[in-house]
Amino acid sequence: MKKRKLKGFVLPTVYILVISLLFVSISFIGNALQNQFKYDSDLSVNALDDTVTPVIKDEESQEQVKIVKPFTSTAVGISKSYYDMQDDEQKQEESLVYYEQTYLQNSGVLYSSKEVFDVLSVLDGTVTNIFEDEILGNVVEITHNTNLKSLYYSLSEITVKKDDLVKSGQTIGKSGDNLLDDESENCLLLEVYYNGKTIDPEDFYNMNIDELQ
């Protein structure tokens, strides 16, 4: 029997057809799988939105406003307390200040020390006035909101200017002298006004500032 031989171009043609068929099959299977599992194009973004917490925090909104005393020195004490009409007679007498043979009701708290001490702002605010009182010496007025302000009398030095923004606990000056009889050379008279009326500074330190708007 005579053997037949394949022509030279037949085998390469077969190989090409087989490879093409495999390629088409793979492409078809891949497309089918892709259609079966459709992914949300925003999947990664949505996942981040749901789980990521911002690193930068709004510290100002979280920070609580604090009322502080106008000094940090432990050597400072109360020389004259706030005069309160509701107090008993003895405490009212102890809250009177004496000037030129006249007793006056103390409208704030008079602090004194044997040594000079720094005077601090009791609360965030704006310096709205600086002036000199003929009896009580240099004065700094700080407005905290439309209804609340504090005044610091008898300062020997003033380290702020009118319209300055100050923070709670910021130094605004140093203790000084006044013309009240028997007073220390290092003193501070603090007055606190709410809605135009004085309140006891010693009570003010413990008040909720949100209730004084």
Task: Give the model's pLDDT for residue 211.
Answer: 87
- Asked if residue 163 and residue 77 are part of one domain, the reply reads yes
> With the CA atoms of 122, 128, 134 and 136 taken in that order, what torsion angle do they form, in degrees rounded to the nearest 10?
0
Residue 141 contacts residue 129 (beta carbons within 8 Å): yes
pLDDT (tens digit per residue) in 86-138: 889 998 998 998 888 888 999 999 999 999 999 999 999 999 999 999 999 99
140-159 per-position pLDDT tens digit: 999 999 999 999 999 999 99
Give the pLDDT band of residue 37 (cuts 50, 70, 90).
very low
Q: Which residues have a Cβ under 8 Å from the Cβ of 157 and sit 6 or more positions away? A: 173, 174, 176
Please tell me whether residues 45 and 110 are part of one structural domain. Answer: no
The verdict on 35 and 106 lying in the same domain is no
132/35 same-domain check: no
At a CB cut-off of 8 Å and minimum separation 6, what does 179 contact?
99, 134, 135, 136, 137
Would you say residue 124 lies in a domain? yes
The answer on 171 and 136 residing in a single domain is yes
Provide the pLDDT for residue 173: 98
pLDDT at residue 55 in the model: 41
Q: Are residues 115 and 46 in the same domain?
A: no
Q: Is 89 among the domain residues?
A: yes
Pairing status of strand 171-175 against strand 102-105: unpaired
At residue 58, the pLDDT reads 42
Residue 2 covered by a domain = no
Give the Cα separation of 198 and 158 in Å (integer): 23
The tokens describing 202, both together, are 């010693």
Residue 58 lies in a domain: no
State which amino acid sits at residue 55.
V
Number of Cβ within 10 Å of residue 95's Cβ equals 20
- Which residue, among 193, 183, 129, has the nearest Cα to 154 in the 3D structure? 183
Range of the domain at 27: 7-52
* Three-class SS state of 203: helix
Check whether residue 123 and residue 184 sit in a common domain: yes
Give 89-151 as a DSSP string: HHHHHHTEEEETTEEEE-SSEEEEESS--EEE-SSSEEEEEEEEETTTEEEEEEEEETTEEEE
pLDDT of residue 134: 93
Same domain, 23 and 71: no
82, part of any domain:
yes
Tell me whether residue 57 is in a domain.
no
Whether residue 115 sits in one domain with residue 37: no
Length of the chain: 213
Token reading at 103: 């007793």
Considering the domain boundaries, does residue 97 fall inside one?
yes
Are residues 202 and 165 part of one domain? Answer: yes
Measured between its terminal Cα atoms, the distance across the chain in Å is 117
The more confident residue out of 10 and 163 is 163
Q: What is the CATH number of the domain that holds 195?
A: 2.70.70.10
Q: What's the number of domains the chain is made of?
A: 2
**Same-domain check for residues 190 and 132:** yes
23 and 77 together in one domain: no
| Residue 26 host element (H or E) | helix 10-36
Q: Is residue 62 part of a domain?
A: no
